[in-house]
């Protein structure tokens, strides 16, 4: 795909060609003669790193000492692992090499969400792990809705609208499949996960790719702030399964709905508490300065 720079610029079927294409730029980087003092390396969620990118591990199988019995792949997740398997060896080699050769590991999360996975990564790589804090933007409560959306929403009862956010990388859905799912649910990509935690909406998750599956299990089974849509053996979720999941969180009399609403509200209160973000930021900056100057 001409002009493609990231995975989100190309369909999943072509992802395997992006790493070799990036490799071809090695000569240009070497001849640029750039002197680098420090480099930040962007990765995926900590749950995925802990499960999929620990030395000696393998795709779909939890490594020794993995700190969760819930954040695991299951038989009906084969569809999610299939697209990843075509480039897993090359992809995992890059990540593991980067983690093994770095001076320290910086992770954009917080202990309240992924603390035990950060600790596991630190123990497996024998590297200092710096936690930067929550990955969500500052809430802007003063910005009003556009008039057209405000008018449209006013025609419905509070909390009755269903919103569909499947992410920029889930481009393999056929039109009829997408229409069957609209319009609700999140694919639970790492960014969407944080955004959903900061909202007041009930969360229904429909993961498509490998890391999204583990993010979903974190939200639904560890934190219990969301509901995962049940999948068939084929890996596809029907509109009936989606309807059951949505009803379970939106029905005021639902036990599951009450549980996830209560847990979600408590967790959001912690994440927006005064000093949480600045505390992480101050500690991260201080430790980073020390490590950079003494490495």
Distance CA 55, CA 59 (A): 11
What pLDDT, on the 0 to 100 scale, is given for residue 117? 93
Q: Of all residues in the chain, what percent carry a pLDDT higher than 70?
A: 83
pLDDT (0 to 100) of residue 171: 47
In a domain, 4, yes or no: no
Q: Residue 209 falls within a domain, yes or no? A: yes
CA dihedral 220, 170, 45, 21 (to 10 degrees): 160
Residue 188: the pLDDT is 80
pLDDT greater than 50 at residue 181: no
- In tens, the pLDDT along 213-231 reads 999 999 999 999 999 998 8
Both 133 and 278 in one domain: the answer is yes
Please tell me whether residues 96 and 36 are part of one structural domain.
yes
Crossing angle of helices 210-217 and 78-85, rounded to 10°: 140
Higher pLDDT pick, 120 / 86: 120
The domain that holds 222 is classified in CATH as 3.40.50.2000
What's the pLDDT at 179? 46
Report the alpha-carbon distance of residue 109 to residue 139 in Å, rounded: 17
Check whether residue 45 and residue 61 sit in a common domain.
Answer: yes
What local confidence, expressed as pLDDT, does residue 83 receive? 67
pLDDT mean over 48-76? 87
165 lies in the same domain as 118: no
Is 113 part of a structural domain of the chain? yes
Task: Identify the pLDDT of residue 274.
Answer: 87
Task: Compute the distance between CA of residue 293 and CA of residue 285 in angstroms, rounded to an integer.
Answer: 12
Question: Does 35 lie in the same domain as 53?
Answer: yes
pTM recorded for the entire structure: 0.80
The verdict on residue 8 lying in a domain is no
CA dist 282 and 103 (Å) reads 20
229-265 pLDDT per residue, tens: 988 777 777 888 888 988 898 888 899 999 999 999 9
> Which domain range does residue 199 map to?
147-271
Report pLDDT digits (tens) over 107-161: 888 999 999 999 999 999 998 898 988 776 555 555 677 888 888 888 888 777 7
pLDDT at 209 exceeding the cut of 50:
yes
The answer on 264 and 284 residing in a single domain is: no
Cβ atoms of residues 213 and 74 within 8 Å: no
- Residue 176 in this model has a pLDDT that exceeds 70: no
pLDDT at residue 185, as a whole number: 58
Residue 197 predicted with pLDDT over 60? yes
Say whether both 74 and 188 belong to one domain: no
Query: For the chain, what is the mean pLDDT?
Result: 81
- The reply to whether 3 falls in a domain is no
The whole-number pLDDT of residue 90 equals 75
Q: How many domains does the chain have?
A: 2
Give the model's pLDDT for residue 260: 93
| Cβ–Cβ < 8 Å for 110, 258 | no
- pLDDT number for residue 182: 41
Q: What is the mean pLDDT of residues 157-185?
A: 59
């Amino acid at each position: 795909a001409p002009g493609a720079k990231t995975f989100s610029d190309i369909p999943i079927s072509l992802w395997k060609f992006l790493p070799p294409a990036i490799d071809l730029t090695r000569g240009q980087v070497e001849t640029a003669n750039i002197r680098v003092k420090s480099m930040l390396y962007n990765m995926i969620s900590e749950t995925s790193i802990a499960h999929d990118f620990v030395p000696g591990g393998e795709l779909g199988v939890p490594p020794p000492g993995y700190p969760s019995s819930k954040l695991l792949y299951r038989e009906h997740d084969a569809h999610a692992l299939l697209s990843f398997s075509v480039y897993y060896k090359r992809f995992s080699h890059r990540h593991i090499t980067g983690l093994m050769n770095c001076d320290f590991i910086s992770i954009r999360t917080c202990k309240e969400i992924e603390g035990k996975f950060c600790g596991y990564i630190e123990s497996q790589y024998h590297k200092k792990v710096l936690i930067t804090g929550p990955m969500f933007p500052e809430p802007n409560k003063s910005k009003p809705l556009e008039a057209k959306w405000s008018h449209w929403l006013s025609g419905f009862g509070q909390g009755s609208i269903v919103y569909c956010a499947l992410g920029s990388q889930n481009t393999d859905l056929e039109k009829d499949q997408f229409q069957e799912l609209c319009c609700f649910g999140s694919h639970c990509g790492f960014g969407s996960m944080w955004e959903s935690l900061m909202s007041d909406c009930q969360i229904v998750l429909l993961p498509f790719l490998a890391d999204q599956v583990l993010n979903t299990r974190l939200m639904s089974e560890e934190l219990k702030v969301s509901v995962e849509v049940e999948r068939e053996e084929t890996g596809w979720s029907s509109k009936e399964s989606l309807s059951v999941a949505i009803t379970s969180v939106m029905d005021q009399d639902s036990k599951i709905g009450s549980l996830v609403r209560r847990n979600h509200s408590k967790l959001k209160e912690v994440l927006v508490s005064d000093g949480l973000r600045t505390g992480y930021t101050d500690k991260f900056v201080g430790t980073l300065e020390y490590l950079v100057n003494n490495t």
